[in-house]
């Protein structure tokens, strides 16, 4: 059986699978595409732009990496969802580029739930303060579709579980205060190859899987 099918068997039906294709070749991506996969995620704007030009038009591309404001313009014309919005300035910039392209850009707000300082995102309190200022409500060309988080890279499963729980609770809080009657705010993007089962147990409804999906089949 193909790896994609294997992973899908573990995923409850309501969980979306983002195939993280960073550093993978066009052929590797096409293999999954021909098995029906349409959501792919990249973390570098140049690499994404080149792949987008060469691969089928109906792929829905997600951006999941650290995004510099000056690079938003490269992906603004086609990006389906930017998952890694980690600052007010970036959100403002994405709105500007969306206006230039005459489109609405879907985003997730990245939340810093891990202990590593090197990871990005708003801290939960920071997000609540920012949303309270309501400036984001003026960004008409952005649709905020939910939250994204990365857990600490550790073998301590309880810690990982707690971090995903924090993300889920923040999602519920934000939903209740700002997005009660807004069905667009619905995504909790959490879980990668090593921790997606824990993430799903804590309410994630979108997993981002790279290495486990692209492993060569004879290695399994």
Ligand X SMILES: *Cc1c(COP(=O)(O)O)cnc(C)c1O
Residues of the shown chain interacting with ligand X in the complex, contacts defined by CB under 6 A: 20, 22, 43, 64, 150, 192-194, 208-212
CB atoms within 10 A of CB 139: 18
Cβ at position 137, least distance to ligand X in Å: 27
Cβ at position 176, least distance to ligand X in Å: 26
Identity of the residue, 64 or 85, whose beta carbon is nearer to ligand X in the bound complex: 64
Rounded-to-integer distance, Cα 190 and Cα 149, Å = 5
Bridge partner list, 108: 146
Cβ at position 180, least distance to ligand X in Å: 29
Rounded-to-integer distance, Cα 117 and Cα 108, Å = 20
| Element containing residue 166 per DSSP (H, E) | helix 157-178
Identity of the residue, 5 or 135, whose beta carbon is nearer to ligand X in the bound complex: 5
Cβ at position 210, least distance to ligand X in Å: 3
Strand locations in the chain (E)? 16-20, 39-42, 60-63, 81-85, 105-111, 142-149, 187-190, 206-209
Cβ at position 147, least distance to ligand X in Å: 13
Q: What dihedral angle (degrees, nearest 10) is formed by the CA atoms of 194, 198, 203, 205?
A: 30
User: On the CB side of 119, how many CA atoms lie within 13 Å of its CA?
Assistant: 17
Q: Which residue has the tokens 């939903």?
A: 175
Structure tokens, 51: 């792949």
Distance from the Cα of residue 162 to its chain's centroid:
20
Identity of the residue, 124 or 149, whose beta carbon is nearer to ligand X in the bound complex: 149
Identity of the residue, 150 or 174, whose beta carbon is nearer to ligand X in the bound complex: 150
Cβ at position 26, least distance to ligand X in Å: 18
Identity of the residue, 40 or 74, whose beta carbon is nearer to ligand X in the bound complex: 40
Ranked by CB distance to ligand X, the top (closest) residue is: 210
Identity of the residue, 43 or 202, whose beta carbon is nearer to ligand X in the bound complex: 43
């Amino acid at each position: 059986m193909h790896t994609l099918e294997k992973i899908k068997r573990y995923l409850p039906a309501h969980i979306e699978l983002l195939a993280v294709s960073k550093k993978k070749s066009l052929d590797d991506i096409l293999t999954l595409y021909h098995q029906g996969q349409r959501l792919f995620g990249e973390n570098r704007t140049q690499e994404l732009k080149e792949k987008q030009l060469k691969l089928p038009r109906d792929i829905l591309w997600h951006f999941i990496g650290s995004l510099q404001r000056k690079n938003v313009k490269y992906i603004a014309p086609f990006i389906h969802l930017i998952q890694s919005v980690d600052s007010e300035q970036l959100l403002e910039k994405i709105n500007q580029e969306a206006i230039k392209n005459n489109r609405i850009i879907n985003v997730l707000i990245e939340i810093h739930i891990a202990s590593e300082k090197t990871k990005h995102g708003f801290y939960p309190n920071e997000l609540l303060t920012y949303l309270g200022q309501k400036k984001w409500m003026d960004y008409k060309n952005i649709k905020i579709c939910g939250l994204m988080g990365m857990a600490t890279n550790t073998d301590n499963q309880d810690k990982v579980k707690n971090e995903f729980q924090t993300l889920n609770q923040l999602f519920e809080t934000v939903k209740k205060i700002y997005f009660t009657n807004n069905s667009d705010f619905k995504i909790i993007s959490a879980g990668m190859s090593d921790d997606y089962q824990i993430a799903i147990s804590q309410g994630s409804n979108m997993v981002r899987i790279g290495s486990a999906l692209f492993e060569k089949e004879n290695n399994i």
